[in-house]
Amino acid sequence: MASNPTTETLDESNPGRRVPAQVTFRLVELWDRRGVVSEGAWEITGPLIIGRYADVKINDPSASREHARVQPSRKPGLALVVDLGSHNGTWVNGVRVDRALVGVGDVVRIGRTLYAIDEVGAEAGRLAKDMGARAGAMLDLLSPLEKFAKSDTRVLLTGLPGVGKQVLAEALHRASEVEGPFVSVNCARLDRDTTDSEMFGHLKGAFTNAFRDRAGLIAQADGGTLFLDEIGELPLESQARLLSVLQDGVVRPLGADRGAPVEFRLICATNAVLEAAVAQGAFRADLYHRIAEWPVNLPPLSARTADIPAILAKLGHPRLERFTTREALVLASWPTNVRGLVYAARRLAMADASPEPQRILFPGGMRNRPSAYVPPYSLPESAEELELLMATFEGNIAAAARHVDRSREIVYRMLTRFNLGDRH
């Protein structure tokens, strides 16, 4: 089922966090209590009770019969989690809560079972299954790519460092079912003086130290896929040569009078804003339009909590028996994204044997994801704070007043003051 169209706003406390203005949420079970990757997911279209005897039934003796409720909130882009007087408490992003407003990527713990708040996305296709993608943002991103995976449409992948641009490029190559190779080139690591030789090849004697003919990386990708990472670092002179190859379908090695036909799928990636580089004259506009036939911006891992268990399974960890390890992995903010998760996966065996797995998984220190909104016990000072308070208490003025230890009349006056009276 495809997600609703959304208008994203910026969460200034966490720029990587997506805050859709309109979204259908779902509750995604990450692992079961034994540490096996789960496939459970439930749409949050109304109140959803979680517990051992509830709408979302969990086989977890540390959970109460009716443990917690999750439902859409009155605040667009957020859902509401309410503890139902459970024995062991309800936890959101590592903090015990009675009530909290949550968004995409937030983690809810019921007993020893972990859930992610996610958005409803498209049906998982071959690309999603290949990459271990469950998060709605990734499913929506990958769905249109499925339709032309076997075409020669040129794709430009953007996003923060480490979000998995090469992983997606490799998945697209496999989905294309071409017989040729996947050739990966990091343009930032090419020696500026030898970039053209590396990319386009050369003949013996074309320049000093050219002692033999050499096929370039483009020729090596013939019949397959050429992945140019950090394409924005390619020198302008080399950009002109690449443009010629894309226009004519011919690659001419240095020192050659004529070129040879070449056919390949081109996928490029960058952390930079190429449009800005074009405006500054650092990147050719004509090349940009050639390589960006289908631009794709990958979201950060902090917005893709639902993907973490499946990615770890693909890295050789289909089961994580220790609960503290599982929780540490999904509570981390992952500033280095999928790349950081890969490094952590290499230390999982040691972490499971350690009394403090966080120290093994995150030797440089663990940065937790931001807390969900839990209403403070003080009067709101802005319309936004008042809206959040009222959303947390489902518009119940008496309950909101009790929480901040004020009379209902004071809350009514505040609603009038901030022009919110007609909403409650």
Answer yes or no: is pLDDT of 121 > 90: yes
Answer yes or no: is pLDDT of 410 > 90: no
Average pLDDT of 75-88? Answer: 94
62-71, 294-303, 398-407, range with the lowest pLDDT:
398-407
Tens of pLDDT along 208-227? 675 666 778 999 999 999 99
User: What count of residues does the chain have?
Assistant: 424
pLDDT at 357: 84
What fold does the segment set 154-292 form as a domain? Rossmann fold (3.40.50)
Domain boundaries, the chain: 8-122+305-361, 154-292, 383-423
- Partners of residue 214 on adjacent β-strands: 202
Average pLDDT over all residues of the chain: 87
Q: Do domains 8-122+305-361 and 154-292 have the same CATH topology?
A: no
> What's the CATH number for 8-122+305-361?
2.60.200.20
Answer yes or no: is pLDDT of 60 > 70: yes
Longest CA–CA span in the chain (Å) reads 89
What are residue 388's phi and psi, to 5 degrees? -65, -40
104-118, 214-228, 234-248, 341-355, range with the lowest pLDDT:
341-355
The answer to whether 9 and 126 are in contact (CB under 8 A) is no
364-395 as b/e, with b when 16 or more CB fall inside 10 Å? eeeeebbebbbbeeeebeeeebbbbbbbbbee
Output 208 or 377, whichever has higher pLDDT: 377
Where are the strands (E) in 22-67, listed by range?
25-31, 41-44, 48-51, 56-57
- Report the DSSP pairing between strands 79-83 and 48-51: unpaired
Rounded Cα distance, 413 and 377, in Å: 18
Tens of pLDDT along 85-96? 999 999 999 999
pTM: predicted TM-score of the whole model, two decimal places: 0.83
